[in-house]
Amino acid sequence: MKNVVLLGSTGSIGTSTLKVADDLPDRLRILGLAAGNNSELLLQQTLKYKPAAISVTDPAKAGELQSALGTAVEVHAGNDGLLKLATHPDADIVLIAIVGTAGLQPALAAIRAGKDIAIASKEILVMAGETVMSEARKHGVNVLAVDSEHSAIFQCLDGKPGASVRKLWLTASGGPFRDRAKWPKESFADITVEKALKHPSWVMGRKITIDSATLFNKGLEMIEARWLFDIEMARVDVVVHPQSVVHSMVEFVDGSMIAQLSTPDMCLPIQYALLYPERAKSDRVQTSLAKYGSLTFEEPDLDRFPALGLARRAGEVGGTLPAVLNAANEVAVEAFCQRKISFPQISALVKRVMDAHHVTAHPTLEQIIAADAWARAEAGR
């Protein structure tokens, strides 16, 4: 039985994680749940899964939850609450699925407390990949990716050393504007929030759906892969694969390519991360390749989607630049969703902020957080 702490339980990854827990009641116990503001759903989840501790952002809501639940459950609040849950003495693995940068401190706290972590929040490895992975090595804990692409690469690598790898290939669905004939570059200025929120193959939260439309999501994943698998940026590449059946691939030095395939369902990488290194029977995912008929691949269009080039640059330069890219993109996506800037201005804004940044190499956590704050202010100017 593994004791699971789930940070971000009411979001899309969080609710999928609870489905996996439903499937495997003899293997997984939900020990802790943390949510942002959706305290109503957190209350329902608490009544169903009976965790030992929960946490919610707002202290007033924590008070309400404590009186509703009585003393059977510890109720915490705010960033302190996330840290308490992440370091809970009974936790075996902490799954972090909090949107934004709030997951960074809990991730490091969990690692330092000797817990395995499963990461769904991209910001953690994008901003602080160097620190997180070196701390994980120091404390002998596993850092497992919940993202379908990184889970695929992890499964394909199967413990092979970096020296045996020619390239890691991340697959990208290409997003709703992949088709160049339908969406030529000139039409990008007319892309609305509604159109950008229609993703062809995955149902996800708003920020990540816009990131999938700009391909910033894939750019962030390139940087994550660079740290997670300790491989230089030049050996991380992207191929567009609209069906989202091949979740990613490893090309080995002998030319052999190994891929992991399934119909898209986040429950699969979540289950793999939570049970690693074991696998458990699940009927949730069934894949009929014959029904797909054909799987197609194409080169990404770097001209219409400058996010990939910006991410490659951030990953190559390293230091504080990936944190700056990430923060500027968050501000830009929010501005796009509020209809303050156009779709092409998202990447233009990120580029402007990256160009203005003075990079600090091998930054401390404080320097990373300061670069993040600087980029947000710069992007808002």
In the complex, which residues of this chain contact Mg ion (CB under 5 A)? 147, 149
> For Mg ion, which residue has the nearest CB?
147
115 or 122, CB closer to Mg ion? 122
Please tell me the distance from the alpha carbon of residue 5 to that of residue 94, in angstroms, as a whole number.
5
Kindly state the smallest distance separating residue 329's Cβ from Mg ion, in Å.
Answer: 15
Kindly state the smallest distance separating residue 221's Cβ from Mg ion, in Å.
Answer: 6
Phi then psi for residue 328, to 5 deg, are: -60, -40
6 or 225, CB closer to Mg ion? 225
Nearest CA to 205 among 10, 2, 361? 10
Kindly state the smallest distance separating residue 177's Cβ from Mg ion, in Å.
Answer: 17
Please tell me the distance from the alpha carbon of residue 330 to that of residue 290, in angstroms, as a whole number.
39
Token pair recorded at residue 323: 């944190």
147 or 378, CB closer to Mg ion? 147
Residues contacting residue 125 through CB under 8 Å, at least 6 positions apart: 119, 132, 133, 223, 224, 227, 228
123 or 378, CB closer to Mg ion? 123
Token pair recorded at residue 39: 């305290």
Residues contacting residue 154 through CB under 8 Å, at least 6 positions apart: 144, 145, 228, 229
Kindly state the smallest distance separating residue 292's Cβ from Mg ion, in Å.
Answer: 19
202 or 252, CB closer to Mg ion? 202
119 or 368, CB closer to Mg ion? 119
Before 277, cis peptide (omega within 30)? yes
Kindly state the smallest distance separating residue 364's Cβ from Mg ion, in Å.
Answer: 29
Kindly state the smallest distance separating residue 124's Cβ from Mg ion, in Å.
Answer: 14
One-character DSSP codes across 10-62:
TSHHHHHHHHHHHH-TTTEEEEEEEESS-HHHHHHHHHHH--SEEEES-HHHH
